Amino acid sequence: MPMNNEKGPILVVDIGNSSIVCAVFEDNELLARYRMPSTIHAGTQEYFSRIGQIMPEYPLALFKYIALGSVVPYLTSVWDDMLSRHSNAMIYPINGLSPIGLRYLNKDRSTVGADLVANAFAAWKKYRSSTLIVDLGTATTIQLVTADALYAGVAIAPGMKTAASQLFSKAAQLNEINLVAPKNIVGYDTEEAMRSGIVLGHALMIRAFIDEIRHNYPQYAPYKVILTGGLASSIAALCPADYILDSDLTLWGFYWALISLISESA
């Protein structure tokens, strides 16, 4: 859904619990993305310094519009302050209160996370179908969004890295591993055994959840299943072939939501 007469690049800032992703869009194209860790104790000046280091080709003064989505309240304030000080852009917070056309069963829309709003909006606009969106990050979320823009609900589970970190910290003889798909269902050594339990186990949990949702909510069928988030590629090969890997769904959701809000205010 490109914006008519769009002028210049647009910045999207997606603040999560583990990382912050900045993405640059222009003329309905994703030009670049940059990632930095979420540091709860960092202040305005430190984040301004970081953003200048990781994306020197896109100074903040270049942007006319910025979409800001965050699930970390303290960092929301820090980034809003930093962007307000160092850019002349119009800053649009994207959250459950944003008037972008989504409907909610939850009466308190303010409690819906910005990333969930972005995922729901992007899936609705892009796929034109009821969708089950699986976002694999610090948490693993499974959202149900209908073809007519109803945000019907979400399940939230510990993410793969979050669960694995607890296992590594509690078991003295287990060391951290790369979270990639295992070669076999059961492992022949400790490393492969952990990959099986953590990565394959997570994929099986997701597959079972999807089957249960399809069984319990037939009124919204048919569904498309979308995998997104930083760890989505780790389990994509372990999921049914009709699951769609869309790693940038959240970023597109923030971008399209911003475009919708700009269009409404024009």
| Catalytic-labelled residue, pool 81, 108, 115, 189 | 115
The alpha-carbon radius of gyration of the chain (Å, integer) is 19
Residue type, 137: G
C-alpha dihedral over 246, 248, 252, 254, to 10 degrees?
Answer: 120
| Owner of token pair 């994306």 | 55
| Owner of token pair 């959250």 | 95
Sign of the torsion formed by the C-alpha atoms of 253, 21, 181 and 216:
negative
| Spatial strand order in the sheet of 223-228 | 103-104, 150-158, 139-145, 130-136, 223-228, 244-245
Q: Count CB-CB contacts under 10 A for residue 218.
A: 10
Alpha carbons 226 and 212: distance in angstroms, whole number:
16
Q: Please name the helix (run of DSSP H) or strand (run of DSSP E) that holds residue 37, with its range, or none.
A: strand 29-37
Alpha carbons 5 and 80: distance in angstroms, whole number:
26
Residues 243, 172: contact at Cβ < 8 Å?
no
Alpha carbons 175 and 249: distance in angstroms, whole number:
32
Concerning whether 148 is annotated as a catalytic residue, the answer is no
Residues 250, 196: contact at Cβ < 8 Å?
no
Catalytic residues: 115
